[in-house]
Amino acid sequence: MLRLGRREFGENDRVIMAIVNRTPDSFYDQGATFSDEPALARVEQAVADGAAIIDVGGVKAGPGDEVSAEEEARRTVGFVAEVRRRHPDVVISVDTWRHEVGEAVCAAGADVLNDVWGGVDPKLAEVAARYGAGLVCTHAGGARPRTRPHRIGYDDVVEDILRVTLELAERAVELGVRRDGIMIDPGHDFGKNTRHSLEATRRLGELTETGWPVLVSLSNKDFVGESLDRPVKERLIGTLATTAVSAWLGARIYRVHEVAETRQVLDMVSSIAGHRPPAVARRGLA
């Protein structure tokens, strides 16, 4: 059982985490949800389309203008509080690596800290423990926040992903983070080239076999773009194909931009797997 905020998710639930970027320079939407009203409208639509988790980010993952902890908090804390007011039952996640920001957003009502940079600030897990929040433990290949990989190599990338994420998860438990609130993330594109991310996808079953809920953040990423030679706005089909494979291999949480399309893919995989009945059943019955 995975327990986040007021929600509980069973082992056969495939859960959507919708991305809401509170940044002016997002690689995907170039700041479309930087202002409050478009961001709140995005939340409303994502929930209507089937997202159970809203993931709020205040700093672009890639290189760009410096964003202080104070500015990151300014972009996220008040927004988290408003989403919490409007949607008491939605799970609110915040994508941050800084414990100061984690503290502020948890106080405002966040349920999950999405540590995409792999424990670079060890105090972030302590914040999750103190607030009873969930925690995403990510493999980032030792990369510093907001840097791109350069000629990075692994003897076995999946072995490294397993070693790092399991160490982060067990450390979190020792600090007092709820075991049923911890997820592991192979960190596609983070500290990896395209071949590394493809191998992490191909061998995702090795992560799901650990028993920890696996979160995948695949949406429109560079490894999809390079595999198909497509720019950011033409990566949806590749993203959905990767999503279907990841679902079949047992991933539980999907961090995405396109919620409605992802929901259909996940529901179809669930029906094929026998975990979800068809929405209607008319064929051959008349």
Whether 285 is in a domain gets the answer no
Which residues are catalytic, by number? 221, 255
On whether the CB atoms of residues 262 and 24 are closer than 8 A, the answer is no
- If you ran DSSP here, which 8-state letter would residue 214 be given? B
Residue 34 lies in a domain: yes
- Position 228 in a domain: yes
Q: Show the tokens assigned to 216.
A: 């995948």
- Mean pLDDT, range 111-137, rounded to an integer: 98
What domain range is 239 assigned to?
2-6+13-273
* Mean per-residue pLDDT, 61-83: 96
The answer to whether residue 217 sits within a structural domain is: yes
How far is the C-alpha of 280 from the C-alpha of 43, rounded, in Å? 28
Between 186 and 64, the higher pLDDT residue: 186
Q: How far apart are the first and last CA of the chain?
A: 40
As a whole-number percent, the residues of the chain with pLDDT over 70 amount to 100
Walk across the sheet containing 112-115 and list its strands. Answer: 182-185, 134-138, 112-115, 91-95, 53-57, 15-21, 253-256, 215-217
Residue 40 CA to residue 110 CA, distance in Å, equals: 15
- What per-residue confidence (pLDDT) applies to 155? 98
The residue that leads in pLDDT, 30 or 43, is 43
Q: Where are the beta strands (DSSP E) in 26-155?
A: 53-57, 91-95, 112-115, 134-138
User: Is residue 175 within 8 Å of 203, Cβ to Cβ?
Assistant: no
How many CB atoms are located within 10 Å of the residue 200 CB? 24
Encode pLDDT of 159-197 as tens digits.
Answer: 999 999 999 999 999 999 999 999 999 999 999 999 999
282 falls within a domain: no
Kindly indicate the confidence band of residue 27, based on its pLDDT and cuts at 50, 70 and 90: confident
Q: What is the pTM of this model?
A: 0.96
Q: Where are the beta strands (DSSP E) in 99-218?
A: 112-115, 134-138, 182-185, 215-217
Q: Are 208 and 249 in contact (CB under 8 A)?
A: yes
The total of structural domains in the chain comes to 1
Does some domain include residue 278? no
What is the rounded average pLDDT for all residues in the chain? 96
Q: Tell me how far apart the alpha carbons of residues 135 and 155 are, in angstroms, rounded to a whole number.
A: 28
Query: pLDDT tier at 29 (50, 70, 90 boundaries)?
Result: confident
Q: Strand, helix or coil at 141?
A: coil
Q: Kindly report the backbone phi and psi dihedral angles of residue 195, in degrees, each rounded to the nearest multiple of 5, phi listed first.
A: -65, -35
Considering the domain boundaries, does residue 283 fall inside one? no
Confidence of residue 125 (pLDDT cuts 50, 70, 90): very high
Q: Which pair of tokens denotes residue 75?
A: 């972009």
Residues 6+ apart with CB under 8 A from 30: none
Q: What is the pLDDT of residue 245?
A: 98
Average pLDDT value for residue range 144-172: 96
Residue 284 in any domain: the answer is: no
CATH number at residue 162: 3.20.20.20
Tokens at residue 215, please?
A: 């979160």
From CA 127, how far away is CA 102, in angstroms rounded? Answer: 7
Residue 286, pLDDT > 90, answer no
Helices 157-175, 123-131: axis angle to 10 degrees equals 50
Strand-pair partners of 2:
9
pLDDT at 138: 98
Q: What pLDDT, on the 0 to 100 scale, is given for residue 238?
A: 98
d(CA 22, CA 54): 12
pLDDT per position as a tens digit, 194-215:
999 999 999 999 999 999 999 9
